[in-house]
Amino acid sequence: MKNYLSKIENYISGLEIKDYISNLKNKNPFGVVISSIILIFLLLLYFTIPTFYNYEEFEKEIQKKVSKEFKLNIKNISGITYLMIPAPHFLIEECDLYFSNDPEEKILTAKHLKINLYSKNLHKKEKIKLKNIYINKVDLDIKFQDIKNFYNHLKYNITKPIYFNNSNFFFRDQKNEIILISKIQKFKYFFNLKNKEKKLNIFGNLFGSNFNYSWEKNFSNPYISISSLRFKNPNIYISNKFDKKDNNFTNAKTNIRFLKNYFDLDYKFNKNNILFKSNTKNIINHSKLTGDVKLDPFFFDLNLILSGIKIETVLNYLFSHLYKVNKTSHINFNGNLKINLNEINNRLFENLILNINFFEKKINLSNTSLNLKKMGKINFSDPFIYEKNQKIFLRSKIKFEVNDQQELFRKFLIARQNRVDLNKIYFELEYNIDDGNYFLSNINFDEKENSDVVFYQVNNIQQLNNLISKEFKKVTLD
């Protein structure tokens, strides 16, 4: 009973009867019980006052308050109920929500939308203060325009908290087809007046992986915003920092961590140009991107340095996507992309340099090379990507420039009697991107063409050794 009375005393802190209750507890315990009953009755009566309002007339008042305090338009309200448990709130049976900056584009139709209230001034409906909006189990169907409207809402408006729980987000493309579905366990969007911070926190599931997204801006330094995205499985972490102090450019930093690999982007951009700056960090498994992208007309010249990633992984991912891009690319998608991959743990390959040129819906892979450890350099000539039997292949002529003959003979187990003096080896390569199988053909030492091209499958280093040894035997027999 004493604890209960203390709670009542704290609740009515500041009222004139506070001291009266304190004195009663010491002088007349029975009087305290009677006073408590009266107080509870009065409190219950106070909290039930809104149930007597005419909600048909109060609907416009709610719309006005929601528009002012949340920068949202609430329309087509159906059924308003006041409830006091677990806390004072209005429960709207059904309504439509719109952003105030775009009153024509509906965000969603919400059922059982809850508007929580502050306890003060419940007896005066025009002075009732809204605390937050809470929406549970809603399907949010969004398009690019909705994302743009939300970004403007996020960027320019100071609002009271908005919460979504246990909801589904569906994103549609320009053809109105669903291209992405995300389950959202918690969506918290609010402004902290005390710290002058605006925050957005989302906990959900995307592509079968749980994620946590956060965005924040401190209005004591309104030019800077910070965001992060973390996936649990696989373990991916992306952080961003945007600084808009410069009127001409927005300076940005993006850090990506994937397993043990790191990728840093230091760049600035405006409506005409994106410039990726050089990063001076020298860390193992650290990848970088430098160069620039012109937006009007569109053209890019980029240098991507990858580290700590398997060459096969890059080739499989890159060539399969290049094939798709080649079939669907726009005539104005033009530019150059140079990829430099240094893989220190590969038994055979050492450094891959890919020069990819995009020009008027055509992709050129000339001037691409691959270093073999201590032995020499492979140069690709006229490489192209094609589809056969529903599989994607890369095919290219190869010139292998030998730098160390003895290392070549040792690596491929060439018998002494079969060794010849050579500087270059020519052959054709076919790579099955889907299955990861290699095929070699027309191996020779003088760049002669062979009309009868027969490809031999190579699944491992032992098969490659046997194939090369046979070719050296042919040369010595000739």
Encode the chain (478 residues) as per-residue pLDDT tens digits.
Answer: 334 434 443 444 444 445 555 555 555 555 555 655 555 544 554 445 455 555 556 788 888 889 999 999 999 988 888 777 788 888 899 999 999 888 888 888 999 999 998 877 555 666 778 899 999 999 988 888 888 888 888 888 888 999 999 999 999 888 888 888 999 999 999 998 888 899 999 999 988 889 999 999 998 888 999 999 999 877 889 999 999 888 889 999 998 887 777 888 899 999 899 999 876 665 555 788 899 999 888 899 999 888 777 777 777 777 777 777 666 666 778 999 998 887 656 677 778 888 888 887 778 887 888 888 888 888 888 888 888 888 888 888 888 888 888 888 887 787 887 777 888 888 888 888 888 788 888 888 776 666 666 777 877 767 777 777 777 776 654 5
pTM score, whole prediction: 0.68
Dihedral sign of CA atoms 205, 209, 210, 215 in order = negative
Closest CA to 115 of 78, 152, 81: 81
Which pairs from 378-386 meet CB under 8 Å and 24+ separation? 385/319, 385/322, 385/323, 385/326, 385/433, 386/323
Q: What single-letter amino acid sits at 298? A: F
| Rounded Cα gap, residues 408 and 230, in angstroms | 46
| Rounded Cα gap, residues 178 and 158, in angstroms | 31
Q: Which residues, including other chains, have CB under 8 Å from residue 441's CB and lie 6 or more apart? A: 427, 428, 430, 453, 454, 455, 456
| Rounded Cα gap, residues 240 and 235, in angstroms | 17
Task: Supply 157's token pair.
Answer: 């408006």
Closest CA to 234 of 258, 254, 213, 212: 258
| Rounded Cα gap, residues 308 and 263, in angstroms | 11
ω into residue 50 within 30 of 0, thus cis? no
Task: Supply 333's token pair.
Answer: 């998608």
Do 77 and 63 meet the contact criterion of CB atoms below 8 Å apart?
A: yes
Q: Which residues, including other chains, have CB under 8 Å from residue 20's CB and lie 6 or more apart? A: 35
pLDDT at 285: 59
> What are the CA-CA distances from residue 294 to residues 289, 290, 432 (Å)?
16, 14, 35
Residues, the chain? 478
Closest CA to 431 of 396, 393, 397: 393
Burial of residue 331 (number of CB atoms within 10 Å: 0-12, 13-18, 19+): exposed
| Rounded Cα gap, residues 132 and 363, in angstroms | 53
Do 249 and 274 meet the contact criterion of CB atoms below 8 Å apart?
A: no
Burial of residue 454 (number of CB atoms within 10 Å: 0-12, 13-18, 19+): exposed
